[in-house]
Structure 1
Amino acid sequence: MIGKLMFGLLVVALVCALGTTGCRKKAKRAGVDDNIGGALGAEQGLSGRPEDGMNVLSVKFANVEFDYDSARIKESERAKIEAVADFLKDNPGVRLLAEGNCDERGSAEYNMALGERRALAVRAYLMGLGIDGGIIQTKSNGEENPAATGHDESAWRLNRRAEFVLYTQ
């Protein structure tokens, strides 16, 4: 019995240790605002999805699709972001989480950075449309949140995207 208890404690300690070793400080990049989440940044403890007590809206918008290895917003995708901007302008008090996603190709670290660039590109486009950057939070899911599970171009195309989560506090 003591052996099982010790084994359980060892497993818990190992999981905790592994959970913290993957975290490292991000290198600063020129031209990127350190507080990219604006008023909803780390000061309020947001880590991606809105916290408990925040009302996630059921309003859904079309995903913005990206080309392979790109964070450039294509002309064909701009209307999707403009629809989100119109909604935000018509609904004061609504906040936005823009999530960048990638397909499975590339390293996990590279895809996290690419997902971040995609989310930031959407944020920048929204700000260019007059949306206050303080209500837009960004998050990268890298390759960890696939929309499609295949291993071909049709699945990869669906996974190279930005998604919108709208919520109120």
Structure 2
Amino acid sequence: MLKSVRMLLPVLLFASVVSLSGCGSKTDTDEGMKAVDQGEAMGETESLDSKPLEIGEGRTTEGMLPVYFNFDSSDIRSDQVARIEVNAEFCKNNNELSVRIEGNTDPRGTNEYNMALGERRALSAKKYLMNLGVDEAKLSTVSYGEEKMLLFGHDELSWAQNRRADFVAVP
């Protein structure tokens, strides 16, 4: 038995070295992966003067404000009414823009529940804007649930910042 192990050991060692060493040949893919210095940047040059719609607080377009919600609620809080009134004025003064209302939640709860809660929050904000005279055709809603959190902490401050509706202007 010891003699057969002594004969098998060099064979296994040789087989291991051969199988793990691989071949060292150059292929076309090796050449294709090398960086090519063309001396110029790729793509069109963009002016530094171009200004996209700016993001303000949260993911809300500048000129509007996000609206924050209590835990497990889609009701507009009394301390958030002034914020939604600012958004209504923005919508009325910028008729060329439509606004997407994005409902968000904190990470507590199931994905399904949070998607539904985010949708209720977005619809609640939309209804409030319509009651303030904003044209329904200019408003759309989407729910992101817990997918687009701003803060990832596991504390009340982080959760409170994630329970919101963002207002994004879309041309």
Q: TM-score range by the shorter chain?
A: 0.5 to 0.7
Cα distance in 1 for residues equivalent to 2:82 and 2:94: 18
**Who is 1:116 aligned against?**
119
Cα distance in 2 for residues equivalent to 1:67 and 1:111: 14
Q: Mean Cα displacement is larger for which, 95-104 or 56-65?
A: 56-65
Gaps of 5+ in 2: 1-50, 55-60
**Who is 1:85 aligned against?**
88
Aligned 8 A contact 1:56 1:166 in 2: no
**Who is 1:145 aligned against?**
148
Cα distance in 2 for residues equivalent to 1:63 and 1:151: 21
Q: How many residues align?
A: 114
> C-alpha displacement at 1:62, in angstroms?
2.2
Cα distance in 2 for residues equivalent to 1:109 and 1:128: 29
> C-alpha displacement at 1:57, in angstroms?
2.6
**Who is 1:130 aligned against?**
133
> C-alpha displacement at 1:146, in angstroms?
0.5
CA RMSD of aligned residues (A): 1.4
Aligned 8 A contact 2:103 2:118 in 1: yes
Residues 73-102 of structure 1 deviation map (CA, whole Å, 9 limit, x = unaligned): 001101111111101111211100000000
Identity among equivalent positions (%) equals: 46
Runs of 4+ in 1 over 4 A off after TM superposition: none
Q: Aligned to 1:106, what secondary structure does the other structure show? A: coil
Higher normalized contact order (CA 8 Å, seq sep 6+, divided by chain length): 1
1:1-169 correspondence to structure 2 within 5 Å = 57-58=53-54, 59-60=61-62, 61-168=64-171
Gaps of 5+ in 1: 1-54
Amino acid at match of 2:99: L
Bigger Rg, structure 1 or 2: 2
Amino acid at match of 2:93: D
Aligned 8 A contact 2:102 2:167 in 1: yes
> C-alpha displacement at 1:56, in angstroms?
6.4
